[in-house]
Amino acid sequence: MPIDAVQHSIHIRRKKNDVVFRNIARLWNLGRQAETHQDLLDGLHPWNGPITLKFENNLPLALALFGAMLVLAVFIALGNIWMQGSVFLGCLLIFWAYICFEHRQPIDEVVAYLEEIALIKKYQLAFQQQPQHISMPLNSIQFIGNLKRWFPLFERGSLSNEITRYASTVWEDENDQQHQVMVFQYHYVNEVQVHDKNGRPVKVTEVHKDLWGVFVFDVSIQGLAVTTSKRKFSYPYRYPWHSSDIRTNQRLSFYGSHQLEMAKLLTPAFVMRLANFFEQRQGDLLFHPEKHMLCYLGPHDLFKVSSQNKNINDIPALRGHLRTFKLIELEKLQTDLIQFLK
């Protein structure tokens, strides 16, 4: 009987979707309990249960299709009362299909949560938290405000200049020397006027841009600014300097806060280290003249992950995604900066 077939289909669909909801609940629990990135991966294999992360929506789709056919059938005979009644039935089936349809939102939410946990555990990132080196913690507004004032890099926007996202971590080199680090995203907004053919302003638009960088604390180098953009710096980096190497001068611009200290610091070996750091990189590298801090700011997205969460329909695919989950640009910057600071 058709009714029996529909009841059986509804029963099977409910069982399959219950399995997906149980898997989602297990994943939330796994994310809360995992202490390391490897704990997260180990919790996904072996799974010891159904592995599906895809809702069964064949029945709602079939109902929606049939309902749409009934609605469109009215155009065959507009004056037929039975055809007009099919519109009501079609709309009812479409509404029922909408109610029964299971959206991917719960799956996407738990995947996004596990991605964040994977980042936190793998790279020891503490999002929206200050580095541990600060002996007297400030509130977040004061903390970010001080960092922006200490380096003349955060005035690019005419309307807005905000550090919208940041995370503290610790980098360690092969000699077990630790560096307190804060990774951040800088968002700025400029107002641009659009003119007509007669040169009259007709429209004002906002241009949003992002840059990414790091603050590294407790560094010994002070009072130096190096850039690939050929921009000029104001106080306290008032004094320009030129290398004896023509290629380096074409690639980099140097500024300092004290001429004598710059002459001592910028030895050929040190300039070569800077050239190596910027060999495959663009941006600005500034060392504060007093605070024993450096700031690097560049166009590379340090929070961009290498693996995208597309077509994750089961637990093995999720584990593979989290296993290959990398912040490639952050890893490159970490390697280059640690090598430079050695």
> What is the model's pLDDT at position 55?
86
Question: Over the chain, what is the mean pLDDT?
Answer: 86
| Cβ atoms of 132 and 299 closer than 8 Å | no
| Alpha carbon separation from 313 to 25, 59, 107 (Å, rounded) | 15, 19, 9
Q: Where along the chain do its domains lie?
A: 2-122, 125-341
Joined tokens for residue 107? 């799956």
The Cα 66–Cα 2 span in angstroms is 15
What is residue 298's three-state secondary structure? strand
- E strands along 112-200, which residues? 126-127, 160-172, 178-195
Among 178, 163, 160, 196, smallest CA distance to 341 is for 178
Sign of CA dihedral 326, 329, 330, 332: positive
H or E, element range at 40? helix 37-44
Q: Report the first-to-last Cα separation within the chain, whole angstroms.
A: 78
Global confidence as pTM: 0.81
Q: What is the pLDDT of residues 81-132, one digit of tens each?
A: 666 667 777 788 788 778 888 888 999 999 989 998 998 999 999 998 888 7
% the chain with pLDDT above 70:
89
pLDDT at 136: 54
The mean pLDDT of 254-263, rounded to a whole number, is 89
pLDDT the model gives residue 1: 41
Task: Determine whether 147 is exposed, middle or buried from the number of CB atoms within 10 Å of its CB (0-12, 13-18, 19+).
Answer: buried
What is the predicted pLDDT for the residue at 300? 95
Tens of pLDDT, residue by residue over 151-161, are 999 999 989 99
Query: How confident is the model at residue 183, as a pLDDT?
Result: 96
Q: Between helices 2-33 and 105-123, what is the axis angle to 10°?
A: 20
Q: What is the pLDDT of residues 295-339, one digit of tens each?
A: 999 999 999 988 776 778 999 999 988 988 889 999 999 999 999
How far does CA 34 lie from the centroid of its chain?
Answer: 22
pLDDT in tens, 177-189: 888 999 999 999 9
